[in-house]
Amino acid sequence: MTVRHASSDCARLLEELRSTTPLVQCVTNAVVTNFTANVLLAVGAAPAMVDIPSEARQFASVASGILINLGTPQRDQQTAMTEAVVAANAAGTPWVLDPVAVGFLSVRTELAGQLAGRSPRIIRGNASEILALAGAGSGGRGVDSTDDPLDALHAARSLSRSTSSAVAISGAHDLMVGPEGDAVVVANGHALLTKVTGGGCALGAVMAAFAALTDDAVLAATAATGVYTLAAEQAAARAHGPGSFAIEFLDRLAAVTPDDVASGVNLRAVSVSDSAR
């Protein structure tokens, strides 16, 4: 299997993002709002943390892309999520579903199942979350995955076909799967990303920004992940631990160039042995 897109395609989308500054509405969890907003600003997008009923619907009609993150789904926010999704679909606005900690937690699991059936452009989660959402697993340890992305490949393909969404699985290496069966691994990143609260959640917001630039959901997810994980590698080379990494990461997201992306993002095809897992 060959890789359908190249790192140069990711570089082109980063250049377009910087020139257009997509407006990303984040209906996200209370733990990560500040970090997520700073990540969007650093990469070149504009954040809007509009997550209360009525306003969420109103804003969704003008946003460039939307993140729906189920990290802390209080009752009002659940209403806001549904309103934003309905308005986004009516306006043709791409939105990303991040089914945080689905599986054994009943409220978010039921909500994630409902939202997955409402045409997200991208579904992003760790391997345990994707397995659970696809009905092939019981979830991980809270927000932590107990599975490898490649273990979720078949479940991701099934979920992608049933929802017509791209599915992005985060892990040591990240895996993108499309409804047509195409799959690509982004082999960049660093373990320090897992030591900063919001590292995965903020990636969902960046995917929403990139989804505003192209109808190719797999490319949007791949480009967002490539830029994000390459910046993490660059930041880790300068950091002394999680605290300095978080600061360096924002700096590198702002400084990473399309040329850096074209030469540094490492995409590889999913192999036959990978597919057999």
SS3 at position 220: helix
Tell me: the pLDDT tens digits for 209-261?
A: 999 999 999 999 999 999 999 999 999 999 999 999 999 999 999 999 999 99
DSSP code of 100?
T
Average pLDDT over residues 22-26: 98
DSSP H helices, the chain, are: 7-20, 33-43, 55-60, 75-91, 106-116, 127-133, 153-163, 199-211, 217-236, 242-255, 258-264, 272-275
Classify residue 155: in a domain, yes or no: yes
Q: 213: domain CATH number?
A: 3.40.1190.20
| Strand 166-170 to 122-126 pairing | parallel
Classify residue 2: in a domain, yes or no: no
Percent pLDDT > 90 in the chain is 84
Classify residue 162: in a domain, yes or no: yes
10 vs 59: CA distance, rounded Å = 28
Total tally of structural domains belonging to the chain: 1
pLDDT higher than 50, residue 276? no
Classify residue 207: in a domain, yes or no: yes
pLDDT of residue 137: 62
Classify residue 112: in a domain, yes or no: yes
Supply the pTM of this predicted model.
0.94
pLDDT of residue 2: 58
Higher pLDDT, 152 or 234: 234
264 is in an annotated binding site: no
Mean pLDDT of all residues belonging to the chain: 93
> Alpha carbon of 230 to those of 34, 212, 253: distances in Å?
22, 21, 9
Instruction: Give residue 206's domain range.
Output: 7-272
> In the structure, what pLDDT confidence band is assigned to residue 149 with cuts at 50, 70 and 90?
confident
Average pLDDT over residues 82-97: 98
49 is in an annotated binding site: yes
* Exposed e or buried b per residue across 119-142, where buried means at least 16 C-beta atoms within 10 angstroms of its C-beta: ebbbbbbbbbbbbbbbebbebbee
